[in-house]
Amino acid sequence: MNVAIQTSKLKKSFGDTVAVDDLDLCVYQGELLALLGLNGAGKSTTVRMLCGLLSPDGGEAEVLGKDVIKEAQVVKSFIGVSPQESATAPNLTVYENLELVARLHGMSRETARARIAELEAVFSLDEVRNKKSKTLSGGWRRRLSIAMALVSKPQVLFLDEPTLGLDVVARRELWRLIESLRGKVTIILTTHYLEEAEALSDRVAVMARGKLCAVGTPRELCALTACEKFEDAFIKLASGEEGTK
């Protein structure tokens, strides 16, 4: 399998606090990897480094063979990011938000219009295309945020807590949209909803105190920890009851 993301001994500290500690991680092209951990485990710091938004203190990281430090602009050109905080412009309509991103990526007006039409169809955004972002529900804003991240047809997509705070129906709808992207785009998903990780991911990577504890399918992690339920396996790994690897 081709490698999409590779890190080696990746490190980041904030003062005396070690956020990411010698992280060795491999993500394959077309894979959906759920990056899990308790608060402060180092997930967000890892994602920010891989996106070129934060410089590592040591180690190496590559996205599609490009160094995230030395070739940061190249990396940014083929990734998409849907952050936990809303990245939409509140006073612009759904269409205007999508058009803004398309134009920032250098698309002509006609190319942008065609790409937006594709995304409106996939995310059912046509029914709210003329509504301002600030008037949308949380579920619609998350749809819009993910659609914006996909405007440039990225090869790697980072989804940071995409369903945080949504009701059950909106969360399930977004699950279906994310599932439709599997195999087409390499995805790193961070979430605190374990059932979400179990349902959507090809593999799960669990971090604790900046270190990678284990990587595998939910079933493999259950076998590793001698747990019947994935939730129990995660708790054992994230709390440090199992050794890191």
Examine the domain organization and report whether 74 and 120 are in the same domain: no
Find the length of the chain.
Answer: 245
Reported pTM: 0.91
Q: pLDDT tens-digit profile of 149-194?
A: 999 999 999 999 888 888 888 889 889 989 999 899 999 999 999 9
Q: pLDDT tens-digit profile of 37-65?
A: 999 999 999 999 999 889 999 999 999 99
Examine the domain organization and report whether 165 and 240 are in the same domain: yes
Specify the number of domains making up the chain: 2
Examine the domain organization and report whether 148 and 161 are in the same domain: no
Q: Is residue 40 part of a domain?
A: yes
The domain that holds 39 is classified in CATH as: 3.40.50.300
> C-alpha 160: how far from its chain's center?
5
Structural domain harbouring 136: 91-153
Q: Could you tell me which of 73, 41, 56, 42 has the C-alpha nearest to residue 7? A: 56
What percent of the chain is modeled with pLDDT above 70? 98
3-state secondary structure of 113: helix
Examine the domain organization and report whether 244 and 185 are in the same domain: yes
Examine the domain organization and report whether 135 and 187 are in the same domain: no
Q: Is residue 85 part of a domain?
A: no
